[in-house]
Amino acid sequence: MKITALLMLKCMPEGADPIILANACDVSHFGFFQRSSVREFIVFVSRTVAKRTPPGQRQSVQHEEYKVHSYNRNGLCAIGFMDDHYPVRSAFSLLNQVIDEYQKNFGESWRTAQADSTEPWPYLDNALTKYQDAAEADKLLKIQRELDETKIILHQTIDSVLARGEKLDSLVEKSSDLSAASQMFYSQAKKTNQCCSIL
C-alpha cells in the first residue's frame, strides 16, 4: 500500500482548470529521470479528475496499478494518488481528514485563490508519510487489525492447550478414578450403616 501524492484544489465553477492550493508528492520509488514527468502527470490528472468531480461527490479513477481518489466538498477538492492495494474506505477517510484540516487552518481563504500555490503545507507532507499505513487513516480498519491479532493469539492459546492434550486426558482419567472410588466409598458406607440401624 502506497500513497504517491495528496493535493488540494479549488474547483472553478465555469469549467476552467482547477487551482492547486497544496501539493505533496513522494516520487522516490520512480527512477530519477522519470520524477519530473511523474510530477507533471500527477498535476495534469489531478486537475482533470477534480474538474470532473461534481460538488459533494466522491469518485475513484483506475489507471493501471494506481487509483486516483477524489472528494469535492463544495468546490474544495482533495485528490489522492494511491496504489491499487490501498483500501478505498481508508482513502476517502484520509481525503475527508485532509479537507477538514485545510478548512481548520485556512478557513474560507481558498475561495479567493487565483493561481496555483507553491507554498508548502507541512500538514499535507506529514499526512503523506503518516497515512502510508491505511489503518492510521481508517479507525475501523485499525480496530479490525487489532481484532485479527487477538484472534491469532486466541488460536495460539487453543492450539497450545490441544498440544497438551495428553496431559488433559490423564487428568480426566484420574477424575474418573476418583469418581469410581467415591462411589465405592459410598456403597461401602451404606452397607456398614445397614447393620447398625435400629428398626
Splitting the chain (199 residues) into consecutive groups of 10 residues, what average pLDDT does each group show?
A: 86 83 86 87 88 87 85 90 85 88 88 84 86 68 65 61 57 61 66 63
- Predicted pLDDT at 78: 93
- Predicted pLDDT at 138: 63
CATH number of 3-162: 3.30.450.50
Model pTM above 0.75: no
Q: The C-alpha cell of 140 is what?
A: 475501523
Task: Write down the domain spans for the chain.
Answer: 3-162
- Tell me the torsion sign for CA atoms 42, 48, 49, 50: positive
- Predicted pLDDT at 160: 65
- Contact (Cβ atoms closer than 8 angstroms) between residue 123 and residue 5: no
- Predicted pLDDT at 79: 93
- Predicted pLDDT at 55: 87
Task: Calculate Rg over the CA atoms of the chain.
Answer: 33
Closest CA to 49 of 94, 97, 17: 17
SS3 4: strand
